[in-house]
Structure 1
Amino acid sequence: MLMDHSLLNEQQTHWEQSFAKNSEMFGEQPSLAALRATEILKARGGKDILELGAGQGRDTLHFARNGVHVHVLEYTREGVEHIEKKAEEYGLNDMITVTQHDVREPFPLPENSLDGCYSHMLYCMALTSEELVKLNHHVHNVIRPGAYNLYTVRHKGDVHYGKGIHRGEDLYEMGGFIVHFFDRVKVENLTDGYRLVDVHEFEEGGLPRRLYQVTLEKLA
């Protein structure tokens, strides 16, 4: 099936509208992925991290409350404004920096400058395999040697895999949202410049969603 890139690009508008309609779309509590990532990153001395696709900032706020400075790159203007508002409301402005950015483009951050990178289901958004390789390279550029890149993705054991409208590769659209489902081969294909430390399987939400949390270590 040929990939329709215009449909993938339209996801930004869909997310903007979804966030505008629901100011707490994923709730206020941090995700299970963020709870685990906080312990992993702090154990490695992570004080200054990057978060990709933070949405409305529930995990961002959790990191900041735990003494971690978070540089957020978020696709939507709605998300950026919501995180900035929450940071001010909770007195966390000094711990959170938010920039609207398309992660398919090189990151506006210095090379080798951050203690790690975290993202929750950003890698399984409407991104092609080629774009995922570039994304992983952009992360590699800005984290320090030895730093971790932790990302989560829905995998092919998820109940929604193969359902909805097929949009090419392992991408399926359900309810207007396009999801890129992973298997272990896809995880292995995204290790250039990294050591694969761990693939942690977990479940989250009412379905439940079935996910991997992948931990990659940047090689020196």
Structure 2
Amino acid sequence: MKTGQELARAQQDRWQAAYEQNRWLHGAEPSAAARWTVRLFGAAGIDDVLELGAGHGRDALYLARQGFSVHATDFSESALDQLRREAQAEGLDDRVTAALHDVRDPLPPADGTVNAVYANLLLNMAFSRAELRSLVLEIRRVLRPGGLFVYTVWSTDDTGYGRCEDLGDGLATKDGFVGRYFDEGLVRELADRWELGGIEPYQEDSRRLFRITQAKPAA
């Protein structure tokens, strides 16, 4: 298996190429997770969101259309270029900013300054368990007390689980893409020192996933 740095670079190149080859790699419609999250954040009085792993922006644009200010990050410049063009075309560039960032590095916001973080299918990408723990700690750091973190991941109940080439450390690969399937134990491990609001299994198209909601303790 490649070292963490080698794997990260190879995956960045793989995703960059995929976005360059397919302008709407994930489709134009928002994910089911984004539709659900809009209702949650709206009910909580949140109006600004940090989205990690935004890709070409189908969810970021949807959030902006619903009135949220969105700071979107991804490690693919091609994906972010598309997001910026679409935001400008829709007149949403006053609500959407996009920045190149690899979440293996510290998150840019200062401590306790972010109201909500959203990450759809980011945490099940090519991260070691140590990198996942570090990322979740970073998210906790930048959230204000009481701030919300919503993320989704592939579940081990998904039909693809166990059918990909095993790379060790819970990672597997198919068609050049590397990822991880989550069980409830890993979700709860990553929720240590958080207020866990829910681990909800759901299905989108043929995929089986978890939607996780957790909050940074208020004190």
> TM over 0.5: same fold?
yes
Query: Equivalent residues in 2 for 1:108-127 (5 A)?
Result: 108-127=108-127
Residues paired across the two proteins, number: 217
Matched, 1:218 2:216: yes
Rounded Cα–Cα distance in structure 2 between residues aligned with 1:127 and 1:185: 17
Rounded Cα–Cα distance in structure 2 between residues aligned with 1:9 and 1:211: 26
Question: Hey, what does 1:138 align to over in structure 2?
Answer: 138
- Tell me by how many angstroms 1:143 deviates: 1.4
Query: Equivalent residues in 2 for 1:26-105 (5 A)?
Result: 26-105=26-105
SS in 2 for 1:80: helix
SS in 2 for 1:156: coil
The one-letter code matched in structure 1 to 2:147 is A
The one-letter code matched in structure 2 to 1:95 is R
CA contact (8 A) 1:45 1:115 kept: no
Rounded Cα–Cα distance in structure 2 between residues aligned with 1:94 and 1:112: 24
What CA deviation, in whole Å up to 9, does each residue of 1:15-74 have, x standing for no partner? 000000000011111000000011011110111111000011000000000110011111
- Tell me by how many angstroms 1:3 deviates: 6.2
CA contact (8 A) 1:80 1:100 kept: yes
What CA deviation, in whole Å up to 9, does each residue of 1:143-183 have, x standing for no partner? 11111100000011111111121111221111111111100
What CA deviation, in whole Å up to 9, does each residue of 1:100-129 have, x standing for no partner? 001011111122112111011000000011
Rounded Cα–Cα distance in structure 2 between residues aligned with 1:194 and 1:7: 29
CA contact (8 A) 1:140 1:193 kept: no
The one-letter code matched in structure 2 to 1:89 is A
SS in 2 for 1:186: helix
The one-letter code matched in structure 1 to 2:209 is L
SS in 2 for 1:167: strand
SS in 2 for 1:110: coil
What CA deviation, in whole Å up to 9, does each residue of 1:67-100 have, x standing for no partner? 1001111111111111111110100011011110
- TM-score, with length taken from structure 1: 0.95
Rounded Cα–Cα distance in structure 2 between residues aligned with 1:39 and 1:192: 25
Rounded Cα–Cα distance in structure 2 between residues aligned with 1:21 and 1:9: 18
CA contact (8 A) 1:197 1:217 kept: yes
CA contact (8 A) 1:57 1:83 kept: yes
Q: Percent identity?
A: 34
Rounded Cα–Cα distance in structure 1 between residues aligned with 2:197 and 2:9: 32
